[in-house]
């Protein structure tokens, strides 16, 4: 069983960076939202509570039951996590006189503390919080302070719990990596034997344990993530995998071509499922949660087809860089019971690109390509005509050598979004581009903010 650090996410912008720092220590970790915790089994060597945009004093602030963790496993609270551990167990958290944001000098009060081992007596850290801990509960011992934050770090006597009100994962905390090493390796006892290169082996083994001899469908979109997952699936012995591609008005033709090639190279049976997504009123109205409605229709179609073909388990390629608050469709995946092994194993988009390159996959450097519906602003009706215009315009620009671009359709106007290095070439071909795109749009504009 793969040992791991569990990172509980309260919505912090830095959560993925914490995971990256842990992986850089050659320790496997997983990120899970605070309201969807996995089983705490023998593989979990320690737990980190992330920061949060919320205040612990807010009525709607995230709450979590730590009874299976606190006092039983090594626990590190970071920022919001530190304030939660203080207030929830009898301390006091109040608004700071002014928001603490930026560099601060930390003074280590107890240099022999296990979390502080190897840190200089004073070191720079990065603060980012609007509240501060003004009183700790009984049994909490302060181990580090700054000029403005008396309770910058503490431990709970008699149990392996620590907390800090700064961010060790960011570059500006000069000894942050050492502090994380002290927790992950020194306190949690992780062996530092994991590398991202071993992910395929780990994923294969865990997939095999999870699904047994099941028949499994892989949702294959033709993108970097799902193509890498198809490669990993092809290495699982004794499991019957098949790749399903959903064809709709939202997918450009080249995605089908890439999905077909990836399935062939992985040796997976391939099936195309057609979905008339434009017949779904809750999708074409284009509300802000359109993606969730769309995913529901798509995965409902996959589930029906899988059941008819005798398949019981469905996987998709969502990765750990896909933050849930930015991806409404993830709610649909969860409700449909779809498993996302790349996300569950903490692999980011950058990790997957590198692993795909090392595996020799043709998609390793393929630019991310969101569905065509994302080119139409929320609230504007989605039509077949608009989707066709966007796809035709983007294909034309691709044919001229432009890459990683978007053509947004806004009330009949094309808004071009390009990388900064491609602006000069666009101006050189201005007339040619205008003449072509005016076939599809009333006007053509360029977003001066580069992609």
pLDDT tens for 223-263 read: 999 999 999 888 877 778 999 999 999 999 999 999 999 99
pLDDT bin (cut points 50, 70, 90) of residue 326 is: very low
Q: What is the distance between the alpha carbons of residues 50 and 10, in angstroms, rounded to a whole number?
A: 6
| Spatial separation of the C-alpha atoms in residues 256 and 331, rounded to whole Å | 25
Q: According to the model, what pLDDT value does residue 328 have?
A: 59
pLDDT of residue 198: 66
High-pLDDT (> 90) share of the chain, % = 64
The Cα 342–Cα 64 span in angstroms is 25
Query: Which of these ranges, 44-53, 106-115, 324-333, 348-357, has the smallest mean pLDDT?
Result: 324-333
Q: What's the average model confidence in pLDDT over 116-132?
A: 90
Of 94-98, 135-139, 315-319, 349-353, least confident by mean pLDDT is: 94-98
Residue 325's pLDDT band (boundaries 50, 70, 90)? very low
Measured CA to CA, the distance from residue 12 to residue 109 in angstroms comes to: 28
The pLDDT confidence band at residue 157, using thresholds 50, 70 and 90, is very high
pLDDT at 334: 77
Q: Is a pLDDT exceeding 80 seen at residue 212?
A: no
| Position with higher pLDDT, 143 vs 343 | 143
Tell me what the mean pLDDT of segment 97-114 comes to.
85
**pTM for this entry:** 0.65
* pLDDT tops 70 at residue 203: no
d(C-alpha 235, C-alpha 215), whole Å: 15
Q: Output the pLDDT for position 338.
A: 85
Range name among 230-234, 259-263, 333-337, 409-413 with the lowest pLDDT average: 333-337
Mean of all residue pLDDT scores within the chain: 89
Q: Which residues contact 270 (CB under 8 A, 6 or more apart)?
A: 220, 242, 243, 244, 245, 259, 260, 263, 264
Residues 6+ apart with CB under 8 A from 310: 215
Residues assigned a catalytic role: 79, 167, 169
78-86: average pLDDT: 94
Is the distance from CB of 78 to CB of 36 less than 8 angstroms? no
CA atoms within 13 A on the CB side of 342: 30
Rounded to whole angstroms, how far apart are CA atoms 326 and 343? Answer: 14
Calculate the alpha carbon distances from 408 to 30, 102, 431 in Å. Answer: 35, 37, 19
**What's the CA gap between 32 and 35, in Å, rounded?**
8
Q: On the CB side of 139, how many CA atoms lie within 13 Å of its CA?
A: 12
Instruction: Please report the pLDDT score of residue 171 as a whole number.
Output: 83
Q: What pLDDT is recorded for position 442? A: 96
Give the residue, 207 or 347, on which the prediction is more confident: 347
**DSSP bridge pairs for 339:** 315
Q: Is residue 197's pLDDT more than 70? A: no
pLDDT at residue 210 tops 70: no
């Amino acid at each position: 069983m793969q040992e791991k650090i569990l990172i509980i996410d309260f919505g912090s912008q830095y959560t993925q960076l914490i995971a990256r720092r842990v992986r850089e220590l050659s320790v496997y970790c997983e990120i899970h939202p605070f309201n969807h915790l996995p089983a705490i089994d023998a593989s979990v060597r320690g737990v980190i509570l992330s920061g949060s945009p919320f205040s612990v004093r807010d009525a709607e602030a995230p709450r979590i039951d730590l009874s299976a963790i606190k006092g039983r496993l090594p626990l590190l609270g970071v920022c919001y996590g530190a304030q939660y551990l203080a207030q929830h167990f009898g301390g006091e958290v109040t608004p700071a006189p002014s928001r603490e944001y930026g560099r601060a000098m930390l003074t280590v009060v107890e240099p022999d503390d296990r979390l502080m081992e190897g840190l200089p007596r004073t070191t720079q850290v990065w603060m980012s919080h609007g509240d501060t801990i003004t009183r700790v509960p009984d049994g909490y011992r302060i181990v580090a302070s700054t000029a403005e934050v008396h309770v910058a770090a503490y431990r709970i006597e008699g149990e392996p719990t620590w907390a800090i009100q700064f961010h060790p994962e960011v570059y500006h905390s000069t000894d942050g990596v050492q502090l994380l090493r002290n927790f992950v390796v020194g306190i949690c006892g992780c062996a530092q034997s994991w590398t991202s290169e071993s992910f395929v082996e780990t994923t294969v083994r865990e997939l095999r344990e999870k699904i047994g001899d099941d028949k499994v469908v892989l949702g294959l979109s033709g993108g970097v993530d799902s193509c890498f997952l198809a490669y990993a699936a092809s290495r699982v012995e004794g499991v019957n995998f098949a790749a399903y591609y959903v064809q709709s008005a939202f997918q450009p033709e080249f995605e089908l071509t890439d999905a077909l090639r990836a399935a062939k190279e992985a040796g997976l049976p391939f099936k195309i499922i057609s979905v008339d997504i434009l017949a779904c009123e809750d999708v074409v109205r284009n509300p802000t949660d359109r993606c969730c409605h769309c995913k529901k229709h798509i995965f409902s179609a996959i589930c029906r087809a899988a059941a008819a073909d005798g398949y019981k388990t469905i996987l998709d390629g969502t990765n750990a860089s896909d933050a849930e608050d930015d991806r409404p469709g993830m709610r649909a995946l969860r409700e449909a019971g779809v498993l996302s092994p790349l996300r569950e194993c903490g692999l980011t988009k950058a990790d997957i690109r590198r692993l795909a390159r090392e595996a020799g996959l043709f998609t390793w450097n393929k630019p991310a390509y969101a569905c065509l519906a994302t080119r139409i602003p929320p609230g504007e009706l989605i039509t077949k005509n608009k989707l066709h215009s966007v796809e035709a315009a983007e294909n034309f620009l691709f044919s001229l050598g432009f890459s990683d671009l978007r053509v947004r359709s806004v009330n009949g106007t094309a808004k071009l979004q390009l990388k900064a290095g491609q602006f000069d070439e666009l101006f050189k071909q201005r007339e040619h581009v205008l003449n072509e795109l005016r076939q599809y749009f009333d006007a053509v504009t360029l977003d001066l903010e580069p992609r």
